[in-house]
Chain A
């Protein structure tokens, strides 16, 4: 209990520090001004989302070959947490894009891929609600999760090659390219903070899922008796 409290405070501290840094430590960007600062949140969420989905992918593979309930619990937790960061990523995109370039949505490779990814993981969670029996649900969603993740590079590739907006809005190039040193440090710090938040949410959600699983087992045993 104390561990969770301390962990929570630490993570909140990190996130707060990252927010502070992105507003006060990072220098103001030349062309876009204040709104550019949302980039630190946006990009960090994007990367964190990807980490979460990767964890989901690994858990899915583990489940298919090992059938451990823990792997399934981790998979759904990672998918949900990833979806949260994905949503923040998608929402901060237009918030940044509109003041910066006058358009709400940019058909940028990363953003569009993120959108398709968001749809895929919504589908993943929806699939889970539509399969009653726990082991069936775990297996089917794991298999879909694997196919979905294998699709990710293909989605990204196809959109980057053929659907990326021209002229390409300069999204800081790639992470780290052409970023001024202080900006870079703030950027990495934001990534760290977001990952810490992800870890916290993941651990919590994982614990919750395991408890739900156990409660479900007891409920089914009672119903059968």
Chain B
């Protein structure tokens, strides 16, 4: 009945729900794909330029997609008031957030990894050699996006114009993630790939800061 077992149970529910319908995953993947293709129309991607601009555009696409994908996160809990049921059942409200941000991180990561080969082809950037390290930076970045996004999704679900509100709140907040993730990715996709450990560390710090903030303030986010 502790936080971890609650989180595991809820995470199971989130995953089961999504994999049953696959609505979020499919729409997110298609959205990112569209954005990537459109971006490629805005400049002439010679290989040199692709390596410089590509990662930034990739992360921008991820961020836009996330700000859409995270909207139903708490909105769907308002349906049938299941949020109240969760609040009544869990021993620590943080478990609700952990499960949701865990699921969101997983979904984001999945869409990112599925789109990586397509990105590599469209922008002529080989990624195979640094795949594992790319997974690492994708994970850390997605974790940051999900943590902040899950928290803000709880806020925007209670406001009017919630569809517009979430991107408005989330995107400025995620500038550090955008900058750091892009930089690390640029390093990894360079002709002489290298790991920018400063960036990796920075992303980890971002993740820790927002996870902690969520831990402290989570229960207030769920208040009625």
Binding site for B on A (CB under 8 A): 64, 116, 119-120, 123, 126-127, 130-132, 136, 139-140, 143-144, 146-148, 150-151, 154-155, 157-159, 161-163
Contact = CB atoms under 8 A, between A and B. Distances in A.
Given A143-B221, A146-B217, A130 B198 contact: no
A131 B160 contact: yes
A139 B219 CA distance: 12
Leading 10 A-B pairs by shortest Cβ distance? A158-B176, A119-B172, A154-B176, A158-B179, A130-B159, A130-B160, A120-B172, A162-B183, A140-B155, A131-B159
A144 B154 CA distance: 10
A148 B173 CA distance: 7
Contact of A64 (B175, B209, B217): B217
A144 B173 CA distance: 10
Interface residues of B, number: 30
Contact of B173 (A130, A151, A158, A162): A151
A210 B178 CA distance: 39
B87 to A, nearest CB: 16
Contacts of B198: 161
Contacts of B220: 64, 139, 143
Nearest to B217: A143
B161 A144 contact: no
A84 B159 CA distance: 25
Nearest to B179: A158
Contacts of A161: 198, 202
